[in-house]
Amino acid sequence: MKPAVLALLAPLASPLPALAAGSAVGQGLNLTAIGMFAVFVLATLVITRWAARRNNSVEDHYAAGGKITAMQNGWAIAGDYMSAASLLGISALVFTSGYDGLIYSIGFLASWPIILFLIAEPLRNLGRYTLADVVSYRLQRKPIRTFSASSSIVIVLLYLVSQMVGAGKLVELLFGLSYTTAVVLVGLLMMVYVFFGGMLATTWIQIIKAGLLLTGAAFMAFMVMQRFGFSLNALFTQAVQTHQLGDAIMRPGGLVSDPVSAVSLGMALIFGTAGLPHILMRFFTVGNVQAARKSILYATGIVGLSYALIIVIGFGTIALVASDPLYQGSQGGIIGGVNMVAVHLAHAVGGNLFLGFICAVAFSTILAVVAGLTLAGSSAVSHDLYVNVLRRGTATEREELWVSRAATVGLGVLAIVLGILFEHQTIAFIVSLTFSIAASSNFPVLLLSIYWRGLTTRGAVIGGSLGLASAVALTVLSPTVWVKVLGHATPVYPYEYPALFSMLIAFAGIWLFSVTDRSQRARNEQRAYAGQLVVSELGLKAAAAARTA
């Protein structure tokens, strides 16, 4: 029976509830993991205190003063992007489906050339702190910022729900705390990082997390290869002999069987990344366009190396975990479910010490991601909605900074509440919805605002809203929600992924409502494209110098 593949997209929404179920590798508290967890939290609090002394302005809070180097930003982007689902979730997909389990890693990695060649340079040149800075450059400030900020906040909240559920389950497992107490603890840590340390603290937490995740994956892959004499052929041969599907795990077709679902999934993974506000925000932390481009190259290399290691880890779970009775439950399945296989593999190759390290890495992953998400959400509230919509650009820097911090507290409290409410809910569809909304609302508006002269405010707002609404509607009507969650016999929308159709609706809506806009405002916006193009290509400083001359 095909696994619930959407669950494996959730950054620890699915893997960690499985973790909480208990494991053959040790019941009760994991003292090693607790010790490593305590060291990581202490280190991040020291970093936050250090960063707080340098977090004195809006630019410091949103963009670390633009002083992050290209290499640092590349590591931070990788840390912000790679959730523990990259290690636990994709490994589980390979464990169940073999070759096809790598679809997710390829889709995630393929998004970076899109960002490098289409987005990074114009984004850095046209914007200051948020995605809305770019799309509102020549369009009407109030409607376009309201739409862009609202879409970004929806994406942030959806992502935070899955992160908070996973974090609560992990802390519950390690410390024996109640789930509610665990979620509150994680939420408080998240608020402290962003409230006091801003982007600088968030950046270094993400850098540390990326290093830990890459180190853990590299050690695990090395130990797997050592077991098989560093021969991939021996590893794959053992995996084929062990897996119940045999040779089929080395062929495509076991996970996504129809072309529409394959294309739709690919579009969500590739283009959704280019619309995630917490990822795009990172390009404002470097000093120039060259550093922004180099950041992408570094991030692509780090993410690509991690996913290459996951190939070995995934097939290693088949070869070493599937047939080991230590990891089998009383019913014959993997203890804790298939999402636990990478954790079991950590114990199989490195014992309790390495198991504790992987658990600590999983928690550091959550803190790094939720910090980036919270900062992106608070900046949308303060910079876009408060300063540029409500105050029409007249707010002082001090006001903006305090509104951002207040928004951080508000988002933190809301994330805690939602995390508690969704403890027992099936939330796999939320993560799919996150990528689909990003691909269907933020990405089309961002892309066309940069490259299409004919874009108008009416087209961007209506078309982007249609993309957002259709992504939500198709997800609810899909088999994932309509059948598995709501209990209907047959789905209204027969495919699991909506991006193929919701993106087409978004682009078509943007085009239609732009070309039919005959207002004077629309003509002014189209004429302003020439000036935007100069800034987009030359950069703000070059364009300002040209105007002065």
Which tens digit of pLDDT belongs to each residue from 276-304? 999 999 999 998 889 999 999 999 999 99
- For 488-521, the pLDDT digits (tens) are 889 999 988 899 999 999 999 999 999 999 999 9
Whether the Cβ atoms of residue 8 and residue 340 lie closer than 8 Å to each other: no
Longest CA pairwise span in the chain (Å): 78
- Position 518 scores a pLDDT of 92
Task: Number of helices (H) and strands (E) in the chain: give both, helices first.
Answer: 24, 0
**pLDDT for 120 beyond 80:** yes
| Mean pLDDT of the 318-344 span | 78
Extract the tokens encoding 131. Answer: 């995605």
The answer, as to whether pTM is greater than 0.75, is yes
Instruction: Return the amino acid letter for 330.
Output: S
Instruction: Return the amino acid letter for 514.
Output: S
- For 416-454, the pLDDT digits (tens) are 998 888 776 555 556 777 888 999 999 999 999 999 999
**pLDDT for 544 beyond 50:** no
- Position 377 scores a pLDDT of 93
Q: What is the DSSP secondary-structure string of 80-148?
A: HH--HHHHHHHHHHHHHHGGGGGHHHHHHHHHHHHIIIIIHHHHHHH-SSSHHHHHTSSS-HHHHHHHH
Whether the Cβ atoms of residue 411 and residue 161 lie closer than 8 Å to each other: no
Half-sphere exposure of 440 (CA within 13 A, CB side): 33
- Position 430 scores a pLDDT of 67
pLDDT class of 549 with cuts at 50, 70, 90: very low
Instruction: Return the amino acid letter for 411.
Output: L
| Mean pLDDT of the 519-532 span | 94
- Position 15 scores a pLDDT of 37
- For 17-29, the pLDDT digits (tens) are 333 333 444 445 6
Q: What share of the chain is helix, strand, coil (3-state, %, to 5)?
A: 80, 0, 20
- For 214-257, the pLDDT digits (tens) are 999 999 999 999 999 999 999 999 999 988 888 888 887 767 77
| Mean pLDDT of the 106-112 span | 83
Instruction: Return the amino acid letter for 446.
Output: L
Q: How far apart are CA 519 and CA 369, in angstroms?
A: 43
- Position 111 scores a pLDDT of 86
Whether the Cβ atoms of residue 106 and residue 34 lie closer than 8 Å to each other: no
**Please, what is the average pLDDT of the chain?**
84
Extract the tokens encoding 160. Answer: 């935070």
pLDDT class of 260 with cuts at 50, 70, 90: confident
